[in-house]
């Protein structure tokens, strides 16, 4: 059984919450994902996201929480960190560069681990970076460069990050 509760108006919300509960006989996963957008001036926005996930039971590698890459910890490999627990926080400052182009400055922090409610101090990974987005008739395109503990990476995405 999968239950998702989501606020999704047609306009860009100032706040977005998503609660996900996945219940199977062998394992259970609970996740809360909260995003907030604060206007910082003409066409400038602070975008904030926080997420926490908790898994119980026999989570296979396929069902574990995964962090790393464009949708979570930029500057790391896709799905580099896996575990039965997950914590993620992102902060972005988005500002106009030209008519359809947007600049982004961001930082991401998080971890995926097994056991315990919170990760150990050394198991929290962070990154900082810059990005450029363009609005096209097909939707937003974005190129980000994030730098973490293990070096830097470019990430390309179609659609919004969060």
Read off the pLDDT of residues 98-150 as tens digits, 9 standing for 90 and up.
Answer: 999 999 999 999 999 998 888 887 789 999 999 999 999 989 999 999 999 99
Domain ranges in the chain are: 2-158
Give the distance, in angstroms, between the CA of residue 98 and the centroid of all CA atoms in the same chain: 26
Indicate the CATH number for domain 2-158: 2.40.160.50
β pairing state of 81-83 and 85-96: unpaired
Instruction: Assess whether pLDDT exceeds 60 at residue 11.
Output: no
Residue 72 tokens read as 């979570």
Give the CA distances from residue 96 to residues 8, 12, 15, 145, 146, in Å, rounded to whole numbers and listed in that order: 25, 17, 21, 18, 20
Residue 3 has a pLDDT of 44
Locate 37 and state its tokens: 């957008």
Q: Which of 125-141 are b and which e, b meaning 16 or more Cβ less than 10 Å from the residue's Cβ?
A: bbbbbebebeeeeeeee
pLDDT digits (tens, 9 = 90+) for 20-59: 776 667 888 999 999 999 999 888 999 999 999 999 888 8
Residue 1 has pLDDT above 80, yes or no: no
């Amino acid at each position: 059984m999968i239950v998702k509760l989501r606020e999704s108006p047609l306009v860009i919300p100032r706040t977005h919450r998503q609660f996900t509960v996945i219940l199977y006989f062998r394992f259970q996963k609970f996740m809360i994902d909260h995003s907030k957008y604060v206007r910082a001036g003409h066409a400038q926005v602070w975008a904030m996201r926080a997420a926490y996930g908790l898994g119980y039971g026999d989570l296979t590698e396929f069902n574990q929480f995964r962090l790393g890459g464009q949708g979570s910890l930029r500057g790391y490999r896709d799905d580099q960190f896996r575990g039965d627990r997950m914590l993620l926080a992102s902060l972005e400052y988005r500002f106009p560069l030209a008519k359809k182009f947007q600049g982004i400055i961001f930082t991401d922090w998080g971890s995926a681990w097994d056991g315990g409610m919170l990760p150990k101090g050394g198991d929290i990974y962070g990154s900082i970076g810059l990005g450029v987005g363009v609005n096209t008739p097909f939707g937003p395109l974005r190129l980000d460069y994030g730098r973490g503990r293990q070096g830097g990476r470019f990430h390309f995405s179609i659609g919004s990050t969060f």
